[in-house]
C-alpha cells in the first residue's frame, strides 16, 4: 500500500457532473449505483487533490535469488500538479534495502484515457486494464517489469469507496495478483526475474497528513488474497478498521468485527529513532485463519523527507500460522508518535 485514496463516478453523467464542479453528496451518487468505479476508465488520472498508483511485489531471479520491491506514483493537485515517485528494492540475500525518490512538477499523464502513463527518461509507471509496466533506473538498482493481472479487480468498501473520517473519502480498488516478468539489475549484475505483484489505486479529496495507518497485503499459498487496513487520526483514534478476503474471483468485505490485529515484535530504527511493529497477529475466525506476519528484512524504512516529508516502513513480509504465504506491509505515522 501503501501510502492511499479517492473520487470519481462510474457513470458518464456523474463524471461530467463533477467536472463542472457541481458537488452532490457522495452518498447520493452511491444510491444511484452499487459500484462507483468503472474500469478501465478509472485507471486514468482524476482531477482530485490526491491520487496514487502503488505496486509491491516479490521477485525470483533465474539463479533463484529473492528480492522484493515497491514502486508508487503520487499525483498531488493543489493549485498546481506535482508528481512524487517512491521506489525501493530489497535484497533478501544480503538484507540491503535500497530506496530512491523524486518529485516533478506537472502531470505527465494528463489527458490519458482508459490508462495512465507517467514516463520520463529514468522511470516509468504506465498501464491500464491490468496490463502495466514499471521501469526504474537508480545508482543502486534498475528494473523493467511487465505486469499482467490474473484475476478480476477488487473494489474496497463494497462499492469502491471508503470513508477516511474528517480527512475525506477515497475511491479504492486493487489488482491483488499480477504476474511479473522482466529484468532486475543490482550490484552491477542483471538477471531475468519472475514474480507476483499487488496493485492499489486510490484517489479523492483527502489529506494524508491527518492520518496514520497499518496496511497489509497478503497473497496466500492456497490462492486467497487478504487486505487488512487499520487507519488512525492525528489523536491516534481509530477511523477505519477494514479489509477484504478474495478467493476464486469472489471478494468478501471484512469489517471491524470480522478480524483482530495485534502487534508483536518491534524493530528500532537508529536512523530516525523510530520503533516499528514488524510482527503482527491477524485472526479471521470465519476463515479459520490465525496468521503471523513478519517483516523479512527489518530495515525496510523509507525516509521520504525530501519528497513527501514523511518516514514510513514499507517492506516484504512472510506469513505463517494456519496459512502460509507472502505479502507486504506499510506502517505510517510511527515517526511522529512516542513509541
Question: 67 is written with which cell numbers?
Answer: 528480492
Q: Is residue 6 part of a domain?
A: no
Q: C-alpha cell of 269?
A: 530504527
Residue 112 within any structural domain of the chain: yes
3-state SS, residue 120: coil
Residues 174 and 6: their CA atoms lie apart, in Å, by 13
CATH number of 174's domain: 2.40.370.10
Half-sphere exposure of 212 (CA within 13 A, CB side): 19
Of residues 278, 333, 324, the one with CA closest to residue 300: 278
Distance of CA 85 to the CA centre of its chain: 13
Separation of alpha carbons 124 and 111, rounded Å: 17
Q: Determine contact, residues 81/73, Cβ cutoff 8 Å.
A: no
- Grid coordinates belonging to 243: 479489509
pLDDT at 34: 59
| Number of separate domains in the chain | 1
Are the CB atoms for 316 and 295 separated by under 8 Å? yes
Does a structural domain hold residue 1? no
**Greatest C-alpha distance within the chain:** 56
In terms of C-beta density within 10 A (0-12 exposed, 13-18 middle, 19 or more buried), how is residue 12 classed? exposed
- What is the per-residue pLDDT for 19? 34
- Tell me the per-residue pLDDT of 272-292, one tens digit each, with 9 for 90 and over: 999 999 999 999 999 999 999
Residue 7 lies in a domain: no
Q: Is residue 283 part of a domain?
A: yes
Residue 289 lies in a domain: yes
Could you write out the three-class secondary structure of the chain? CCCCCCCCCCCHHHHHHHHCCCCCCHHHHHHHCCCCCCCCHHHCCCCCCEEEEEEEEEEEECCCCEEEEEEEEEEEEECEEEEEEEEEEEECCCCCEEEEEEEEECCCCCCCCCCEEEECCCEEEEEECCEEEEEEECCCEEEEEEEEECCCCEECCCCCEEECHHHCEEEEEEEEEEEEEEEEEECCEEEEEEEEEEEEEEEECCCHHHCEEEEEEEEECCCCEEEEEEEECCCCCEEEEEEEEEECCEEEEECCCCCEEEECCEEEECCCCEEEECEEEEEEHHHCEEEEEEECCCCCEEECCCCCCCEEEEEEEEEEECCCEEEEEEEECHHHCCC
Give a yes or no: residue 4 inside a domain. no
98 found inside a domain: yes
Tell me which residue range forms the domain holding 269: 12-336
Give the length of the chain. Answer: 339
> Which parts of the chain sit beneath pLDDT 50?
2-33, 338-339
Amino acid at each position: 500500500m501503501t501510502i492511499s485514496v479517492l473520487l470519481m463516478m462510474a457513470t458518464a453523467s456523474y463524471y461530467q457532473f463533477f467536472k463542472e464542479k457541481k458537488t452532490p453528496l457522495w452518498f447520493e451518487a452511491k444510491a444511484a449505483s452499487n459500484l462507483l468505479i468503472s474500469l478501465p476508465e478509472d485507471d486514468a488520472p482524476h482531477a482530485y487533490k490526491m491520487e496514487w498508483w502503488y505496486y509491491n511485489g516479490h521477485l525470483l531471479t533465474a539463479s533463484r535469488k529473492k528480492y522484493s520491491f515497491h514502486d508508487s506514483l503520487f499525483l498531488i493537485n493543489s493549485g498546481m500538479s506535482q508528481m512524487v515517485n517512491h521506489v525501493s528494492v530489497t535484497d533478501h540475500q544480503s538484507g540491503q534495502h535500497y530506496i530512491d525518490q523524486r518529485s516533478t512538477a506537472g502531470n505527465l499523464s494528463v489527458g490519458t484515457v482508459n490508462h495512465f502513463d507517467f514516463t520520463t527518461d529514468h522511470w516509468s509507471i504506465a498501464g491500464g486494464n491490468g496490463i502495466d509496466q514499471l521501469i526504474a533506473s537508480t545508482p543502486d538498482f534498475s528494473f523493467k517489469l511487465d505486469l499482467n493481472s490474473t484475476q478480476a479487480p477488487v473494489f474496497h468498501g463494497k462499492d469502491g469507496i471508503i470513508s477516511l473520517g474528517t480527512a475525506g473519502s477515497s475511491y479504492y480498488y486493487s489488482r491483488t495478483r499480477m504476474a511479473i516478468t522482466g529484468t532486475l539489475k543490482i550490484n552491477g549484475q542483471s538477471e531475468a526475474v519472475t514474480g507476483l505483484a499487488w496493485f492499489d489505486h486510490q484517489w479523492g479529496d483527502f489529506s494524508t497528513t491527518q492520518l496514520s495507518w497499518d496496511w497489509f497485503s497478503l497473497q496466500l499459498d492456497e490462492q486467497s488474497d487478504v487486505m487488512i487496513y487499520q487507519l488512525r487520526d492525528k489523536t491516534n483514534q481509530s477511523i477505519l478498521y477494514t479489509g477484504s478476503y478474495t478467493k476464486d474471483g469472489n471478494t468478501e468485505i471484512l469489517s471491524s468485527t470480522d478480524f483482530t490485529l495485534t502487534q508483536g515484535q518491534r524493530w528500532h530504527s537508529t536512523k530516525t529513532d523510530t520503533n516499528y511493529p514488524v510482527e503482527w497477529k491477524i485472526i479471521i475466525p470465519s476463515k479459520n485463519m490465525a496468521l503471523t506476519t513478519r517483516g523479512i528484512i527489518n530495515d525496510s524504512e523509507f525516509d521520504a523527507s525530501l519528497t513527501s516529508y514523511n518516514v514510513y516502513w514499507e517492506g516484504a513480509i512472510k506469513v505463517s500460522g494456519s496459512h502460509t504465504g507472502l505479502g507486504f506491509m506499510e506502517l505510517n505515522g510511527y515517526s511522529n508518535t512516542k513509541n
